[in-house]
């Protein structure tokens, strides 16, 4: 059988994967509903294998990259897990202190895709901190399915506090200027929105397809926002009109970008939801926004 391409699959397949990846349907139902697309020699196993992340083939940067200095640190999170672990990475040739970026993972822990994103942020001239919300459970377990199950057992508010504590840790780091922003994806997009609500001295927030705060919470935002949405992501996009209305009503600084004909997760280069053109455009806008607000 020839290699699958995302163009070979119906949009409903990606919608089903989104439901599965966000725990709205169980694996058994996911497999069952995929069966109707297993035609013409295409098997359910082949479809599932294609949809799942492939870190071995898609990781872009090594932990031994000579351009980077990285370490795993432990920091205090008294309102969250108590102790948290995080990847801390910065460019090796940096002179002086750097502005900081907290990089927030999806709903499955600090996987190789988010580690790659933190390394990219460092190569773009920042000191990046990528916490792992699965720290109290031993950390990212090696597969997204296991990671998603583990993260589902944690309290959402406590995890938010873990990332806020990560912000405070990075802000106080001896190699950070004290100006810190946040970027997050999916669950991390919600965290980014909520950090803008909860952290008065946050310098900038960039949520990628993240859940939105309430109108009352939006009134507390002080950081400028840059928001990225996937045109086919009807689930997250449903909340955007009310959020935008609240941002406008409270005279908040924000810019929003909608990327047509791409799926939730379009920035994640480890799955076929990835859209190279949209991802590169969105990341370029993100770095420009951080340079404008953090330097």
> 41 and 173 share a domain?
no
> 131 and 240 share a domain?
yes
103 inside domain: yes
> 17 and 66 share a domain?
no
* For residue 2, pLDDT beyond 60: no
CA distance 4 to 7: 8
Number of domains in the chain: 2
- We report the CATH number of the domain holding residue 283 as 3.40.50.1820
| CB atoms closer than 10 angstroms to residue 273 | 23
> 44 and 116 share a domain?
no
The predicted pLDDT at position 1 comes to 47
The length of the chain in residues reads: 295
Host domain of residue 205: 62-294
Distances in Å between the Cα of 147 and the Cα atoms of 134, 138, 141, 150 are 8, 11, 6, 5
- Is 82 in contact with 61 (CB distance < 8 Å)? no
Q: Which residues contact 111 (CB under 8 A, 6 or more apart)?
A: 53, 55, 105, 140, 144, 147, 270
pTM: 0.95
57 inside domain: no
Classify residue 229 by burial, with Cβ atoms within 10 Å: 0-12, 13-18, 19+: buried
SS3 44: helix
Nearest 5°: the CA angle 280, 175, 72 is: 70
284 inside domain: yes
> 27 and 67 share a domain?
no
Q: Which of 202, 232, 208 is nearest to 220 (CA)?
A: 202
Q: How much is the average pLDDT of 244-271?
A: 97
Write the pLDDT tens digit of every residue in 11-61: 999 999 999 999 899 999 999 999 999 887 789 999 998 999 999 889 999
CA distance 38 to 9: 10
> 33 and 101 share a domain?
no
> 32 and 108 share a domain?
no
The predicted pLDDT at position 226 comes to 98
Residue at a domain's end among 52, 70, 90: 52
State the average pLDDT for the chain: 95
> 38 and 155 share a domain?
no
11 inside domain: yes
Write the pLDDT tens digit of every residue in 93-149: 998 999 999 999 999 999 999 999 999 999 999 999 999 999 999 999 999 999 999
> 195 and 104 share a domain?
yes
> 20 and 121 share a domain?
no
174 inside domain: yes
CA distance 202 to 233: 27
1 inside domain: no
Write the pLDDT tens digit of every residue in 260-276: 999 999 999 999 999 99
> 38 and 98 share a domain?
no
> 37 and 114 share a domain?
no
């Amino acid at each position: 059988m020839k290699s699958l391409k995302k163009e070979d699959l119906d949009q409903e397949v990606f919608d089903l994967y989104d439901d599965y990846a966000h725990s709205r349907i169980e694996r058994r139902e996911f497999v069952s509903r995929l069966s109707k697309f297993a035609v013409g020699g295409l098997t359910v196993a082949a479809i599932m294998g294609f949809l799942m992340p492939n870190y071995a083939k898609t990781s872009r940067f090594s932990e031994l990259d000579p351009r980077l200095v990285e370490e795993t640190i432990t920091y205090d999170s008294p309102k969250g897990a108590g102790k948290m672990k995080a990847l801390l990475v910065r460019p090796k040739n940096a002179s002086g202190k750097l502005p900081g970026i907290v990089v927030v993972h999806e709903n499955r822990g600090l996987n190789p895709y988010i580690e790659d994103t933190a390394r990219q942020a460092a190569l773009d001239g920042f000191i990046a901190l990528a916490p792992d919300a699965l720290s109290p459970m031993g950390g990212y377990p090696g597969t997204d399915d296991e990671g998603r199950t583990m993260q589902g057992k944690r309290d959402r508010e406590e995890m938010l506090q873990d990332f806020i504590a990560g912000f405070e840790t990075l802000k106080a780091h001896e190699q950070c200027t004290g100006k810190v922003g946040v970027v997050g994806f999916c669950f991390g997009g919600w965290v980014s929105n909520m950090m803008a609500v909860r952290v008065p001295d946050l310098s900038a927030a960039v949520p990628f397809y993240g859940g939105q705060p309430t109108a009352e919470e939006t009134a507390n935002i002080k950081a400028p926002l840059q928001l990225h949405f996937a045109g086919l992501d009807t689930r997250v996009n449903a909340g955007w009109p009310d959020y935008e209305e609240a941002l406008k009503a409270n005279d908040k600084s924000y810019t929003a970008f909608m990327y047509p004909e791409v799926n939730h997760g379009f920035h994640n280069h480890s799955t076929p939801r990835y859209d190279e053109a949209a991802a590169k455009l969105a990341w370029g806008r993100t770095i420009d926004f951080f340079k404008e607000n953090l330097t």
